[in-house]
Amino acid sequence: MTDAPPAASVEKFRDWRFGLFVHWGLYSLPARHEWVKNYERLTDEDYQPYFDHFEPDLYDPRKWAAAARQAGMKYAVLTTKHHEGFCLWDSAVSDYTVAHTAWGAGKDLVRQFVDACRAEGLGVGFYHSLIDWHHPEFPIDLVHPQRDDEEAIAKAAGRDVQVYADYLHAQTRELLTNYGPIDIMWFDFSYPGRTYPDGRDGHGKGRDDWRSEELMAMVRELQPDILINDRLDIPGDFVTPEQYQPDGPMQRDGVPVVWEACQTLNGSWGYDRDNLDWKSPETLVKMLVDSVSKDGNLLLNVGPTGRGEFDPRALATLASIGEWMRLHERSIRGARPAEGYVAPVDCRFTQKGNRLYLHLFSWPMGHIHLPGLAGKVKYAQLLNDASEIKRIVSDPHQQAQNTTMGGVSADTLTLKLPIQKPNV
Ligand code: JFZ
């Protein structure tokens, strides 16, 4: 690893626990997944209408940032450029930017985003795609074997990825020079050493293609306090499980590592109009709790529309999460896993200071048994309304006689819960 970030940056990031991911670009117009250009094998010509019609007249990132803050998020990460190659800022080294669209002459959507985050008190992150389907020297090559073909290979021939790497470095320098202190750099992604199923060279991309060490050193030089993710094909400051929850605190080479799960609202990162696969707010809250209980963050994605708004389904979901966070935030923000206690089935523990938070993913039948906690809990309450919960410590005498609390070991704390789950 090239150096390490300051401990204060790491702790700040871990305390945030919950952030907003925004995938926004030309793909918001076809509105059927940010990989549409690759999935549907669209040529540059096919894709041109989205550049020509990019006109996000309702773009007001203060609204995005306010929605994020109200949902309980503490930072936001924007796709400055996704794989399609389109830049949301007025890059000096590209014409494929918002500033070169008919609508966006002279506009810098990244600056507006950064200003909005700062105004709402959110940390700021930049997602930046390593892959670029538009740059003339990027060898478009195998990412999805089943979707690649001879034409793509032929197109890749003769392209010089090092020329592209110069461009990548120049753009990264712009992003980390012109917008003040940036908290997170989120590169995406490497796929080294890929081969086709029949053994042909798949032209994978990795550290030698991006010149990852050099790139990371530059990022640290420009932004000494920044955290860099782990998708440069060299170790980064945090790891990024994507669309899955790990089964426990994450490790790298046997050592605990900072991590952030990224999750979609509906399986697509970019705005996907006809998608019906929306996760419920309850599922998303469970993902957040699950991450924190395993010492990780959750970066939850919204794909804004081509007009630049969060669509009503996304807003409603964020509002529901926000209502849960209003009542339960202190079990999340700055929280850590509970050391030494194993949560019962379908439960998660988080801890902050001497307070232990028990999150119940399904509502128990009147009692919940907590092995190892007898005599360790001075007071128990529901978090949503501070109403007391009665503790029942099993009585060894009764246990011996196998009566009231029979079968519950002496070190088990039993809590008596209301039969009805609180309506929150
Ligand atoms: C990448 C992007 O392709 C996707 O569009 C989105 O931006 C997401 C956050 O990141 O998707 C990936 C990247 C890496 C893996 C899987 C999906 N991977 O290494 O398994």
Q: Which tokens sit at 177? A: 């020079």
- Percentage of the chain beyond pLDDT 70 is 92
- Residue owning the nearest CA to atom 17 of ligand 1: 242
> 93: helix, coil or strand?
coil
Please tell me the chain's helix, strand, coil percentages from 3-state DSSP, rounded to the nearest 5: 30, 20, 50
Q: What is the pLDDT of residue 405?
A: 55
Contact 287, 324 (CB under 8 A): no
* 150 belongs to a structural domain: yes
C-alpha 30 to ligand 1 mean position (Å): 19
Confidence of residue 270 (pLDDT cuts 50, 70, 90): very high
Residue 215: CB atoms within 10 A of its CB come to 23
* 187 belongs to a structural domain: yes
Judged against a pLDDT cut of 90, whether residue 139 lies above it is answered with: no
Judged against a pLDDT cut of 60, whether residue 147 lies above it is answered with: no
Cβ of 24 below 6 Å from ligand 1 = no
Contact 164, 137 (CB under 8 A): yes
Is the alpha carbon torsion for 389, 395, 400, 403 positive or negative? negative
* 422 belongs to a structural domain: no
Q: What is the pLDDT of residue 398?
A: 54
- Residue owning the nearest CA to atom 14 of ligand 1: 189
Angle 312-328/61-70 helices, nearest 10 degrees?
A: 40
CB within 8 Å of 330: residues ≥ 6 apart? 352, 383
* 110 belongs to a structural domain: yes
Q: Which of 81-90, 150-159, 228-237, 321-330 has the lowest mean pLDDT?
A: 150-159
Same domain, 221 and 100: yes
Q: What is the pLDDT of residue 155?
A: 72
Section 138-163 average pLDDT: 73
- Predicted confidence (pLDDT) per residue in 401-424, tens digit: 544 555 678 889 999 999 999 988
> 92: helix, coil or strand?
coil
Same domain, 317 and 386: no
Count of structural domains, the chain: 2
- Structural domain that includes position 359: 347-416
Section 25-53 average pLDDT: 95
Q: Which tokens sit at 260? A: 């952030």
- Predicted confidence (pLDDT) per residue in 335-380, tens digit: 999 988 889 999 999 999 999 999 999 999 999 999 999 999 999 9
- Predicted confidence (pLDDT) per residue in 91-130, tens digit: 999 999 999 999 999 999 999 999 999 999 999 999 999 9
* 132 belongs to a structural domain: yes
Same domain, 259 and 362: no
Residue 395: CB atoms within 10 A of its CB come to 14
Confidence of residue 210 (pLDDT cuts 50, 70, 90): very high
Q: What is the pLDDT of residue 198?
A: 75
Section 156-180 average pLDDT: 95
- Category of 243 on φ-ψ map: left (φ > 0), alpha (ψ -120 to 50) or beta: left
* 2 belongs to a structural domain: no
Closest ligand 1 atom to 131 CA = 3
CB within 8 Å of 150: residues ≥ 6 apart? none
Same domain, 261 and 397: no
Q: Which of 23, 28, 205, 242 to mutate to test the pocket of ligand 1 (most atoms within 8 A of CB)?
A: 242
Cβ of 239 below 6 Å from ligand 1 = no
* 423 belongs to a structural domain: no
Contact 233, 207 (CB under 8 A): yes
Calpha distance 369→354 (Å, rounded): 20
Domain containing 84 — which CATH number?
3.20.20.80
Q: What is the pLDDT of residue 148?
A: 59
* 126 belongs to a structural domain: yes
User: What are the E-state strand segments in 108-243?
Assistant: 123-129, 184-188, 227-228
Nearest residue to 297 via CA among 63, 77, 7: 77
Same domain, 59 and 181: yes
Q: How far is CA 218 from the centre of its chain?
A: 24
Give yes or no for a cis peptide into 189 (omega within 30° of 0).
yes
- What's the mean pLDDT when you consider all of the chain? 93
Same domain, 351 and 285: no
Same domain, 315 and 359: no
Same domain, 284 and 369: no
With 0-12 / 13-18 / 19 or more C-beta atoms within 10 angstroms meaning exposed / middle / buried, residue 360 is: middle
Q: What is the pLDDT of residue 409?
A: 80
Same domain, 76 and 168: yes
C-alpha 240 to ligand 1 mean position (Å): 10
- Predicted confidence (pLDDT) per residue in 119-129, tens digit: 999 999 999 99
- DSSP alpha helices (H): ranges in 34-160? 36-39, 44-52, 61-70, 109-119, 150-156
Closest ligand 1 atom to 127 CA = 7
- Percentage of the chain beyond pLDDT 90 is 83
Q: Which tokens sit at 87? A: 């830049």
Confidence of residue 245 (pLDDT cuts 50, 70, 90): very high
User: What are the E-state strand segments in 56-189?
Assistant: 75-81, 123-129, 184-188
Give residue for tokens 């945090």: 238
User: What are the E-state strand segments in 100-212?
Assistant: 123-129, 184-188
Q: What is the pLDDT of residue 199?
A: 75
Same domain, 136 and 181: yes
- Residue owning the nearest CA to atom 4 of ligand 1: 269
Same domain, 72 and 165: yes
- Residue owning the nearest CA to atom 2 of ligand 1: 188
Q: What is the pLDDT of residue 221?
A: 98
- Residue owning the nearest CA to atom 7 of ligand 1: 269
Residue 303: CB atoms within 10 A of its CB come to 28
Judged against a pLDDT cut of 50, whether residue 60 lies above it is answered with: yes
Q: Which of 45-49, 196-200, 264-268 has the lowest mean pLDDT?
A: 196-200
Q: What is the pLDDT of residue 2?
A: 54
Same domain, 385 and 288: no
